[in-house]
């Protein structure tokens, strides 16, 4: 998962126009605090103190507390999704690509609890999330996943009698199902084992097979 980049430069530098220092400090502060407690119990005052800026500055850059969360999320998602897309494209064969995607996704949840919790828990109940850039990034990601599946249908490696969107739902649901409890109770996930298990079931189910001759 893009080890190169994380060593040279963290994902929050990955921008055309880098953030002004204050904005960057604020986002970093929220990231830090999310590692310590839930979003609801993080206060603007916490964030400001942690960032070494005044509370007012937060409202210069962000509409409100949730907007800050969404921007932090979008930034991370942009980093993760862009990286993953590139890596996946470098692989041959839709099934192998799916494997890679599933592993990457689970591995991301495991190695980045903060974002796992935000994505799986904090963000979904609020309407404004679905209007945010972060949600746009997620859509870009699921569109990419869909494209991989459709590619597999086109080249015959994935059965065509189940709608691609259903298959996508199955995969995303499976990942979620596998990672949610660990995320909630802060247990670690074994990404290899978990993705292997999931692939065993899912890939088995979606690949076409010889019709066994009846009778």
Cβ pair 7, 16 in contact under 8 A: no
- Kindly identify the residues of this chain, within the stretch 22-41, that bind a second copy according to CB under 8 A: 38, 40-41
Contacts to a second copy from residues 163-182, by CB under 8 A: 176-177, 180-181
- Please report which helix (H) or strand (E) contains residue 72, including its range: helix 65-89
Q: What are phi and psi of 137, to 5 degrees?
A: -65, -40
Site string for DNA, 24-63 (x = CB under 7 A): -----------------xxxxxx------xxxxxxxx---
Nearer to DNA, 46 or 176 (CB): 46
Of 74-113, which residues contact DNA (CB under 7 A)? none
CB 26 within 8 A of CB 53: yes
Binding window for a second copy (CB under 8 A); candidates: 17-25, 104-112, 118-126, 156-164: 118-126
The torsion region of residue 183 among left (phi > 0), alpha (psi -120 to 50) and beta comes to alpha
Q: Is 15 in the site for DNA (CB under 7 A)?
A: no
Confirm or reject binding of residue 20 to DNA (CB under 7 A): yes
Nearest-approach distance from CB 180 to a second copy, in angstroms: 5
Could you tell me the two tokens for 95? 């099934």
Query: Shortest CA distance to 180 belongs to which of 194, 165, 166, 201?
Result: 194
CA 122 – CA 72 distance, rounded (Å): 13
Q: Which of DNA, a second copy, none interacts with 199 (beta carbon under 5 to 8 A by kind)?
A: none
Which chain residues interact with a second copy by CB under 8 A?
38, 40-41, 121, 124-125, 176-177, 180-181, 184-185
């Amino acid at each position: 998962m893009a080890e190169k980049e994380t060593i040279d430069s963290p994902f929050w530098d990955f921008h055309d126009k880098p953030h002004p220092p204050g904005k960057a400090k604020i986002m970093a502060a929220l990231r830090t605090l999310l590692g310590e407690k839930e979003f609801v119990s993080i206060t603007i005052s916490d964030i400001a103190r942690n960032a070494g800026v005044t509370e007012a500055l937060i409202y210069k850059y962000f509409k409100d507390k949730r907007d800050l969360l969404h921007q932090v999320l979008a930034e991370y998602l942009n980093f993760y999704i862009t990286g993953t897309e590139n890596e996946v494209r470098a692989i041959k064969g839709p099934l192998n690509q799916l494997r890679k995607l599933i592993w990457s996704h689970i591995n991301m949840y495991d190695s980045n609890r903060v974002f796992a919790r935000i994505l799986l828990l904090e963000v979904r109940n609020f309407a404004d999330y679905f209007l945010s850039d972060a949600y746009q990034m997620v859509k870009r990601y699921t569109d990419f996943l869909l494209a991989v599946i459709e590619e597999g249908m086109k080249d015959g490696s994935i059965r065509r009698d189940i709608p691609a969107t259903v298959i996508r739902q199955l995969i995303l649901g499976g990942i979620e199902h596998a990672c949610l409890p660990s995320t909630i109770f802060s247990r670690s996930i074994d990404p290899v084992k978990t993705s292997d298990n999931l692939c065993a079931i899912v890939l088995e189910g979606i690949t076409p097979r010889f019709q066994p001759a009846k009778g």
